Amino acid sequence: MVLAMQRSQSRPYFIALALAGMAASLASLGGCDPSDETRAGQPIPATARGERPFRHVLIISVDGLRPDALEPPFLASLPSFARLLRGPHTLDARTDADITVTLPNHTGMLTGRPFDGPNGHGWKLNDDPPGRAQGGTLHAMKGAYVSSVFDVAHDAGLSTSITAGKTKFWLFEQSYGPSHGAPDPLPPDHGRAKIDFFTYARETEGIARVVADRLRDAAARRIGTLDFVHFAAPDAAGHAHDWILAPDSRYFSALLEVDAALGTMLAAIDTTPGLAMRTAIVLTTDHGGGAPAKTHTDVMSPLNFRIPLLVWEGGDGESRDLYEFHQDRARPTRETRVARDANPQPLRNTDAGNLALELLGLPAIPGSTRGLTVVPIGTPVPAVSASPDKSLVPAP
């Protein structure tokens, strides 16, 4: 089942979306990018690691992914995960320091903020959010606007999307839709709706097909993209059967399912002109699992707080330690939980959004936290890859 959520001013409603219809929806974007070499007549800036920025970036969350699943002997059965490890990565990143559940940690990924503290995003609920009028936005909870990775990318002229396996992610559409997203501070005005497409897909392979179709169409139209992709299957298997890492476990079967879906997306990237070597992936998770059994709520357990963080930059590059590129961070031992205000900090899943923006050659999320440094709010985002029509096709 693949369902697209069209925007509404109250509660979401669902409209069945045929996979072939994704291209028709994307056709509403129109326009084309500047060349690969320039944006608005200016040279593309280099990233912190010196490479040219990418045109397409996927932030992928594999819900409930244990980092030791990406080690031998299990990795031999996961060729797509193994390929994504051919780049800067660590299996010793951390969740939010104060909470190890789904929605708060995904909010951290997309806003670059911890859950708690004066600069925290403050969203603790882990169910489908209330409606906008009932306070179902990040800004209402915080009492101030909370910028996201979608604000930066969309204001820069990129097309943005969420494809998720849980309906609770509607929180982000409510927070960054046409009524609650922030105004675009610089011309051209790309509007207040910071997320162009929101799709809920229950099946893992359905998620992969939606994303692959969107990337192919965007490449054909030369539209830059930032996409958030969420796979729920490992978390569902863990809650039902526990986080048992064994070849015959339900949990490992779910990882095999996600690996195949990643393979579908990688095949689209490899075979589509304009995607190969122009698409990057940041992959992480919201938590591990198994403490207590069949859940992940014990914030003190390394089964829950230790997570992977992968940055794949196309092709089959060299496997590198992601901590080498972040000298302001310190790798903790596998059993060590690191407090939110400890100095130095480890790499966390809250770094995912800013890593994605770096790969696109864009600035960090205003108000986000990089280690212990807060990015100033109020810095305008330069326009790149502009498209004249960033609106969704009107709902029937």
- Residue 116 falls within a domain, yes or no? yes
Answer whether 392's CB lies under 8 Å from 33's CB.
Answer: no
First to last CA, the chain: 20
149/369 Cα distance (integer angstroms)? 13
Please state, as a whole number, how many other Cβ atoms lie within 10 Å of the Cβ of residue 316: 9
181/175 Cα distance (integer angstroms)? 6
The whole-number pLDDT of residue 394 equals: 26
Answer whether 92's CB lies under 8 Å from 68's CB.
Answer: no
Q: Indicate the number of domains in the chain.
A: 1
38/59 Cα distance (integer angstroms)? 24
Answer whether 195's CB lies under 8 Å from 176's CB.
Answer: yes
The pTM of the full predicted model, rounded to 2 decimals, is: 0.86
Which residue is listed with tokens 């995904």?
106
Q: Buried b / exposed e across 318-334, counting CB within 10 Å, b at 16+?
A: eebebbebbeebebbee
Which residue is listed with tokens 């992480």?
284
- Residue 31 falls within a domain, yes or no? no
CATH code of 241's domain: 3.40.720.10
Residue type at 48? A
The token pair that represents 147 in the structure block: 């910028």
The whole-number pLDDT of residue 381 equals: 54
163/90 Cα distance (integer angstroms)? 25
- Residue 40 falls within a domain, yes or no? no
33/39 Cα distance (integer angstroms)? 8
- Residue 274 falls within a domain, yes or no? yes
- Residue 242 falls within a domain, yes or no? yes
The whole-number pLDDT of residue 105 equals: 98
The whole-number pLDDT of residue 34 equals: 33
Nearest 5 degrees, angle CA 4-CA 9-CA 15? Answer: 20
- Residue 17 falls within a domain, yes or no? no
Answer whether 168's CB lies under 8 Å from 126's CB.
Answer: yes
- Residue 41 falls within a domain, yes or no? no
The whole-number pLDDT of residue 380 equals: 55
- Residue 79 falls within a domain, yes or no? yes
**What is the number of alpha carbons within 13 Å of residue 314 lying toward its C-beta?**
20
Q: DSSP letter at 334?
A: T
The whole-number pLDDT of residue 315 equals: 83
Task: Pick left, alpha or beta for residue 191 (phi over 0 → left; psi -120 to 50 → alpha; otherwise beta).
Answer: left
218/240 Cα distance (integer angstroms)? 37
pLDDT tens across the length of the chain (396 residues):
454 543 332 222 222 232 223 333 333 333 333 333 322 223 334 444 444 589 999 999 999 999 999 999 999 999 999 999 999 999 999 999 999 999 999 999 999 999 999 999 999 999 999 999 999 999 999 999 999 999 999 999 999 999 999 999 999 999 999 999 999 998 999 999 999 999 999 899 999 999 999 999 999 999 999 999 999 999 999 999 999 999 999 999 999 999 999 999 999 999 999 999 999 999 999 999 999 999 999 999 999 999 999 999 998 888 999 999 999 999 999 999 999 999 999 999 999 999 999 999 999 999 999 999 999 987 555 544 333 333 322 222
Answer whether 160's CB lies under 8 Å from 154's CB.
Answer: yes
Supply the range of the domain harboring residue 230: 2-9+49-374
